[in-house]
Amino acid sequence: MMRKFILFIFVFSFQFFPVHGQDTLATVTAEKGDGIYSLLRKHGVNPYEYYREFIDINLVNLRDSVHLYEGRIYAIPKVLMDTIPVVDSIQRQAKEVKEVEAKTYDIFGEKHKTVLSKSERLKGAIYYLVSGHGGPDPGAMAVYAGKSISEDEYAYDITLRLAKELLAHGASVYIIIRDENDGIREERILEMDRDEVAYPDKVIPLNQRDRLQQRVDIVNGLYKQNKGAYQRLIVTHVDSRSVGQNIDVFFYHHEKSQNGKRLAESIHKTFEAKYKQYQPNRTYSGTFEDRTSLFLVKKTHPAMTFIEIGNIRNEKDQRRILDPDNRQALAKWISEGVILDYEER
């Protein structure tokens, strides 16, 4: 279900209390369970707009350049435009009124269903997003804090977040594996279920080859339907390796697809840049390479990339996968690589 409406946003100006002639920043203490995205949201700051600035001003006080320490004090970026309703805005003066286009998509869940337009940088582009496994097949399994966790739930959550980012930049998006009940979730442990369906509402087969062929048929059918348009496929999985093996994000493409290779390379290049910026003391070891042996890589028609997010059984990788802020960052970085690929085509 999709509805279109207009939001009227008031742009306010406000001042901070000066200290020795300089503006000072508000500070907050990180509580247990806080991440950068949740901390900014909690204090009325748009995390997507101010994530990078928050890291810049708090870099020396962050673990691995991206994680908060419980009990430490962090500075909140000075907000020049506040689009969040606040009760103390009575002292602020409205400078202008903007019309912002927004649409709602129920598949993202009640809290996340509104998609505000950020740009039209992906206008004309069509993306097919396939999250790994689903339905009768949970994919890779592990145990965290005494509870079972599964690949399909985390791949799906990241895929939904990616879909929302792409939509915000004007793309058309088909979410191929769907769960109308889940939406984007903020929990670390995502409850497992088996009610996912394949676009638009097909039962996912029990047989593995049949499941993969169903996805191929759906994607190729839509590709034919949208013939002549710019079309790309992004498949998201979570790997399962030995417990002690910590891996980075990997990208695969068809060996004969130059467009697929460029898409994988663009996202990989974005991840390399992000690691250099946010984790300068850690080398990024993820690669992009051809992997035509993978069924979806071999059989689907659109240029595509197949993404492995991490090892669900490894403790360090679990931090990347289970932390909702990290899942959002992954989706954001992938989307930036997708935009780079589209604009450099």
For residues 141 and 315, the answer to whether their CB atoms sit within 8 Å is: no
How high does pLDDT run on average in the chain? Answer: 86
Alpha-carbon 317 to chain mean position: 16
Check residue 11 and give its pLDDT: 38
Check residue 243 and give its pLDDT: 62
For residues 300 and 216, the answer to whether their CB atoms sit within 8 Å is: yes
What is the mean pLDDT of the segment spanning 229-258?
87
Q: From CA 167, how far away is CA 122, in angstroms rounded?
A: 8
- When pLDDT is cut at 50, 70 and 90, the band that residue 185 belongs to is very high
Query: Does 200 sit behind a cis peptide bond, omega within 30 degrees of 0 on the bond before it?
Result: yes
Query: How are beta strands 197-198 and 202-203 bridged, if at all?
Result: antiparallel
Query: How are beta strands 141-144 and 147-150 bridged, if at all?
Result: antiparallel
Check residue 245 and give its pLDDT: 65
Check residue 37 and give its pLDDT: 82
Q: Is the pLDDT of residue 189 over 80?
A: yes
Where do runs of H (alpha helix) occur along the chain?
Answer: 36-42, 47-58, 151-168, 208-225, 258-278, 295-299, 315-322, 324-343
Check residue 24 and give its pLDDT: 78
Q: Highest mean pLDDT range out of 42-51, 56-65, 143-152?
A: 143-152
Helix-helix angle 315-322:324-343, to 10 degrees: 80
Alpha-carbon 121 to chain mean position: 17
Q: Which residues pair with 230 in a beta bridge?
A: 125
Q: From CA 163, how far away is CA 214, in angstroms rounded?
A: 21
- When pLDDT is cut at 50, 70 and 90, the band that residue 80 belongs to is low
**3-state class percentages of the chain: helix first, strand second, coil last, to nearest 5:** 35, 25, 40
Q: Is the pLDDT of residue 166 over 60?
A: yes
- When pLDDT is cut at 50, 70 and 90, the band that residue 60 belongs to is confident
The C-alpha R_g of the chain, in whole angstroms, comes to: 21
> What values do phi and psi take at 257, rounded to 5?
-100, 105
161: tokens are 């977040």
User: Is pLDDT larger for residue 5 or for residue 191?
Assistant: 191
Check residue 144 and give its pLDDT: 92
The structural domains of the chain, ordered by start, are 17-75 (3.10.350), 118-343 (3.40.630.40)
Reported as a single tens digit per residue, the pLDDT across 36-49 is 888 888 888 888 77
Q: Is the pLDDT of residue 218 over 90?
A: yes
Q: From CA 297, how far away is CA 292, in angstroms rounded?
A: 6
Check residue 65 and give its pLDDT: 67
For residues 326 and 156, the answer to whether their CB atoms sit within 8 Å is: no
- When pLDDT is cut at 50, 70 and 90, the band that residue 20 belongs to is very low
Helix-helix angle 324-343:47-58, to 10 degrees: 110
% of the chain surpassing 90 pLDDT: 62
Check residue 16 and give its pLDDT: 37
What is the mean pLDDT of the segment spanning 252-277?
95
Q: Is the pLDDT of residue 17 over 60?
A: no
Q: Is the dihedral of CA 14, 16, 17, 23 positive or negative?
A: negative
Check residue 260 and give its pLDDT: 98
Q: Looking at 88-97, 117-126, 165-174, 264-273, which range is the least confident one?
A: 88-97
Q: From CA 109, how far away is CA 35, in angstroms rounded?
A: 21
